[in-house]
Chain A
């Protein structure tokens, strides 16, 4: 049997990779994907850290998080489409019409 802490360590690694990806990537869609990785890492952490007495609760919470991720993806991709229609670009450098 595998210790749960292995799963937890994996989730930590994924979470940190998600943060790195968020900062490194320069287009909106991949940044959005990076956020999805972080949410998935949290899902894994929830399941890994649950005890057998509240494993079911953890699963229900993961269910909610997947719903939230879907809602965020929908609205995020809609905003990306809006941006692309106006600027013909989804690079972060092109998001510069405001400064001060």
Chain B
């Protein structure tokens, strides 16, 4: 039953990423991506991380992709941009990705079989995550606040219109 769910979710996920690659319209691409990220959320849940599943759907599929769609609406390109490029870029990207895929698959096969299965049930409540976030990972957590300030300031200064011109 679980395995069926896994295959359904992963097929939808990969399929919608392919759809995003093929689609000419950025708005469709963004919607395909929302679908892919929601499926990933489901997969996180199956791995035993329900909190991350919710965060994935709220922040990724919700907030970040909505940001994308806003910008696409503001830009409002009438006609799409077709994905095929010059022949050599196609060839290069094909070669790179095949090599990388092969390498990673070999890496998976080369490692000893992972004896454990997914779905860890022990202590994955949001309370535990919160406790870890404010003890062991306090320092990186504080750094993310600096990161967000930098992103905020950067985004504002780039987009704002200067008064004296």
Contacts and interface: CB of A to CB of B under 8 A. Distances in A.
Q: Do A and B bind each other?
A: yes
Interface of A: 1-10, 12-21, 23-27, 29-30, 32-33, 36-37, 40, 43-44, 47-48, 50-52, 55-57, 59-60, 62-64, 66-75, 77-82, 84, 90-91
Contacts of A74: 67, 151-152, 155
Contacts of B97: 16, 19-20
B117 A63 contact: no
B129 A79 contact: no
A44 B94 CA distance: 23
Give the dominant DSSP class at B's interface. helix
B81 A91 contact: yes
Interface in B99-157: 100-101, 104-105, 108, 113-114, 116-120, 122-124, 128-129, 132-133, 136-137, 140-141, 144, 147-148, 150-152, 154-156
21 contacts: A2-B119, A3-B114, A5-B113, A12-B101, A17-B18, A17-B21, A23-B93, A23-B96, A24-B90, A25-B81, A27-B81, A29-B29, A29-B71, A36-B60, A40-B37, A47-B47, A69-B60, A73-B64, A78-B156, A80-B75, A81-B158
B114 A5 contact: yes
B52 A5 contact: no
Contacts of B100: 16, 19
A20 to B, nearest CB: 5
A36 to B, nearest CB: 7
Interface of B: 2-3, 6, 10, 13-14, 17-18, 20-21, 26, 29-30, 33, 36-37, 40, 43-44, 46-49, 51-52, 55-56, 59-60, 63-64, 67-68, 71-72, 74-75, 77, 81-85, 89-90, 92-94, 96-97, 100-101, 104-105, 108, 113-114, 116-120, 122-124, 128-129, 132-133, 136-137, 140-141, 144, 147-148, 150-152, 154-156, 158-159
